[in-house]
Structure 1
Amino acid sequence: MEAARRIDELTKELNEHAYRYHVLDDPLISDGEYDRLFQELLKLEEAYPGLAAEDSPTRRVGGVALDKFEQVAHRLPMLSLENGFSDQDLRDFILRLERFLNEPVSTGFSAEPKMDGLAVELVYQQGRLITGSTRGDGLIGEDISAQLKTITAIPLSLLRSNSDLLEVRGEVYMEKQGFADLNDSQLAQGLQPFANPRNAAAGSLRQLDPSITAQRPLKFFAYGVGDPESTPCASQTELLDYLRQIGFPTCPYNSFCIDIVEVIRHFERLTSIRHQLPYEIDGMVVKVDELGLQNRLGVKSRAPRWAIARKFPATQATTTLTGVEFQVGRTGAVTPVALLEPVNLDGATVSRATLHNQGEIDRKDLRVGDAVLVQRAGDVIPEVVKPIVDRRDGNETPIKLPSRCPACDSDLIKPDDEAVTRCPNLQCPAQLLRGLIHYCSKAGLDIEGLGKRYVEQLYEEKIIREVADLYTMDREVLKGLEGWGEKSADNVLAAIDQARKPPLADFIAALGIRFIGENSASLLESHFGSLD
Structure 2
Amino acid sequence: MSLSPQNRQPVGVPVGGQFAATNHAEPGIGLGTFASTEEYDAAVTNALSAARAYERTDIEEMTDTDFDRLLAKIASHEAANGIQPAHDLHDSVGHGGAAGGDVEHATMMKSLDKPGEDAVIEFAAKHPKAVIEPKIDGLAISVKYEDGRMVRAARRGDGYTGEDVTDRVRGVDGLPEMAGEGDYEVRGELYLNDENKAKANAVRAAAGKEPFANARNGVAGMLNKQDGSYKGLFSFAAYSTTIDEKADHLDNMEQLEGMGFTTARSLLPQSVLDAADPMAAIAALGAERKDLGFLMDGAVLKVNTAAERAELGEGSRAPKWAVAYKYPAVEEPTVIEDIEFNIGKTGRLSIRARLTPVEVDGSVVEYASLHNVGHLQAADMRIGDTVSAFRANDVIPQVHLPRADLRPEDSQPWQPPAVCPQCSEPFDKSTELWRCHTPECSVSGRIAYAVSRDAGFDIEGLGSSIGDALIEKDLVKDVSDLFYLTEDQLSDLDMGATSTGGTRTLGQKNATKIMAEIEKAKAQPLNRVITSLSMRFTGRTFGRRLASQFETMEALQAATVSQLANVEGIGEKKAAVIHEQLKKNEPVIAKLRAAGVNMGAPKPKPEAGAKGPKLAKPSGEPLSVVVTGSVKGAPTLASLSRSGVQELIEANGGKASGSVSKTTDLLVCSEDGSSKWVKAKELGIRIVTPEEFAQMLEDGEA
TM-score, normalised with respect to structure 2: 0.51
Residue 90 (structure 1) aligned with residue 108 (structure 2): no
Matched, 1:175 2:193: yes
Contact 1:336 1:401 in 2 (8 A): no
Q: Secondary structure at the match of 2:229?
A: helix
Q: Does 1:118 align with 2:136?
A: no
Query: What is the distance in 2 between the residues matched to 1:495 and 1:73?
Result: 28
Residue 281 of structure 1 pairs with residue 401 of structure 2: no
The letter of the residue matching 1:319 is T
Counterpart contact for 1:412–1:422, Cα < 8 Å: yes
**Please, which of 240, 259, 270 is the counterpart of residue 224 of structure 1?**
240
Is 1:476 the equivalent of 2:488?
yes
Q: CA deviation at 1:206?
A: 1.2
Tell me which amino acid in the other structure corresponds to 1:146. Answer: D
Report which of the two has the higher share of strand: 1
Partner of 2:167: 146
Gaps of 5+ in 1: 1-68, 99-103
Query: Is there any run of 5+ residues in structure 2 with no aligned partner, and where?
Result: 1-98, 495-503, 543-626, 630-640, 653-702
Q: Deviations over 1:358-407 (max 9, x none)?
A: 46535644233322121233999532122002223363323647775857
The answer to whether the 8 A contact 2:382-2:411 is kept is no
Contact 1:144/1:206 (8 A) holds in 2: no
On the 8 A contact 2:214/2:364 being kept in 1, the answer is no
Q: Which residue of 2 aligns with 1:61?
A: none
Q: Which amino acid aligns with 1:431?
A: G
Give the corresponding residue for 2:53: none
- Report the CA distance shift for 1:286/1:408 in structure 2 as closer, same or farther (over 3 A): farther
Does structure 2 conserve the Cα–Cα contact (< 8 Å) formed by 1:410 and 1:425?
Answer: no
Aligned to 1:101: none
1:114 CA displacement: 1.7
Q: 1:123 to 1:336 in 2, by over 3 A?
A: farther
Tell me which of 455, 461, 464 is aligned to 1:452: 464
Q: Secondary structure at the match of 1:201?
A: helix
- 1:432 CA displacement: 0.7
Distance 2:466 2:384 in 1: 34
Worse-matched range after superposition: 516-525 or 290-299: 516-525
User: 1:170 touches 1:220 (CA, 8 Å); kept in 2?
Assistant: yes
In structure 2, which of residues 261, 269, 279 is the aligned counterpart of residue 248 of structure 1? 261
CA distance in 1, matches of 2:176, 2:520: 35
Q: Quote the residue 1:203 is aligned against.
A: 221
Q: Report the Cα distance in structure 2 between the residues aligned to 1:414 and 1:528, rounded to whole angstroms.
A: 39
Query: Which residue identity lines up with residue 212 of structure 1 in the other structure?
Result: S
Q: Which residue is 2:613 aligned to?
A: none
* 1:126-145 alignment runs, 5 A limit: 129-136=150-157, 141-145=162-166
Name the CA distance, whole Å, in 2 between partners of 1:303 and 1:349.
30
Cα deviation, residue 238, structure 1? 4.2
3-state DSSP class of the match of 1:367?
coil
SS in structure 2 opposite 1:368? coil
The residue that corresponds to 1:323 in the other structure is 338
Pairwise CA distance, 1:221: 0.8
How far did 1:456 drift? 1.6
1:30 corresponding residue in structure 2: none
Q: In structure 2, the residue corresponding to 1:265 is in which secondary structure? A: helix
Residue in 2 that maps onto 1:432: 446
Q: Is the 8 A contact 1:437 1:455 kept in 2?
A: no
Partners of 1:465 and 1:294 in 2: how far apart?
Answer: 59
Q: Which residue of 2 aligns with 1:28?
A: none
* SS of structure 2 residue aligned to 1:180: helix
C-alpha contact 1:331 1:514 (8 A) present in aligned 2: no
CA distance 1:277–1:341, change in 2 (3 Å):
closer
CA spacing shift, 1:90–1:397, aligned 2, 3 Å: same
Matched letter for residue 120 of structure 2: F
Deviations 1:193-227 (A, max 9, x none): 44544343332211032x3343x4211112236xx
1:338 counterpart SS class: strand
Question: Deviation per CA, 1:301-327, whole angstroms, max 9, x where unpaired?
Answer: x65555443334433332222332233
| Structure 1 counterpart of 2:447, one-letter code | L
Letter in 2 for 1:429: V
For residues 83-140 of structure 1, give each alpha carbon's deviation from its aligned partner in whole angstroms, at most 9, with x where no partner exists.
47xxxx4333343x59xxxxx7246323111223223333456765454333455566
Shift of 1:285: 2.2
- Give the distance between the partners of 1:369 and 1:187, measured in 2 at CA: 30
Q: How many residues align?
A: 439
Aligned pairs for 1:499-514 (under 5 A) are 514=539
Is the partner of 2:467 in helix, strand or coil? helix
Deviations 1:434-459 (A, max 9, x none): 41475499x99694x54432232134
Aligned position for 2:381: 366
Q: Is the 8 A contact 1:186 1:192 kept in 2?
A: yes
Q: Deviations over 1:147-185 (max 9, x none)?
A: 12352533445523455xx4x432212222233344445
Residue of structure 1 in register with 2:405 after alignment? 390
Evaluate the alpha carbon distance shift between residue 379 and residue 331 of structure 1 in structure 2; reply closer, same or farther with a 3 A threshold. closer
Percent identity over paired residues:
27
